[in-house]
Amino acid sequence: MTAIRDSELHALAAAIAEVRHFTAPADQALSAFFRLHRELGARDRAFIGDGVFAFLRRKRSLETLAESNDARKLAIAVLVREFGRSLRDLSPALTAAEDV
C-alpha cells in the first residue's frame, strides 16, 4: 500500500465536513464538492467518495473512535478503521500532534 498524502487527507476531511451536515442528499453534496474542486483527479475522487460513504455508514462509531467531531480526525478514523490503513501509511500526512 502507498502512503497517504497530506492533500488526500485534507480533501477527504473537507468532503466529510461538507457532507455530514446533511443539507442535501450525500451524492448531491459530494457532486457539488467535486464541482468546486475540479483539480481532483479520478483516483482522488474515488478515494474521497469511498471515504465519505464509509464515514456515513459508520458515522456514530467513527465519531466515538475519533473522540471528536473534527473532520480531520474523522477522516483519520475512516482511514484506520474502514480502510485498514496503519499509522505508518498515514505518517506523511499527520501533524506531530496527531502522530502517536
C-alpha cell at 15: 468532503
The DSSP string of 62-79 is HHHHHTS--HHHHHHHII
Q: How confident is the model at residue 21 (pLDDT cuts 50, 70, 90)?
A: confident
pLDDT value of position 99: 60
The CA-CA-CA angle for residues 97, 99, 100, to 5°, reads: 100
C-beta separation of 50 from 56 below 8 A: no
Dump pLDDT digits (tens) for 45-74: 999 999 999 999 999 999 998 898 999 999
pTM comes to: 0.88
Residue 100, pLDDT score = 53
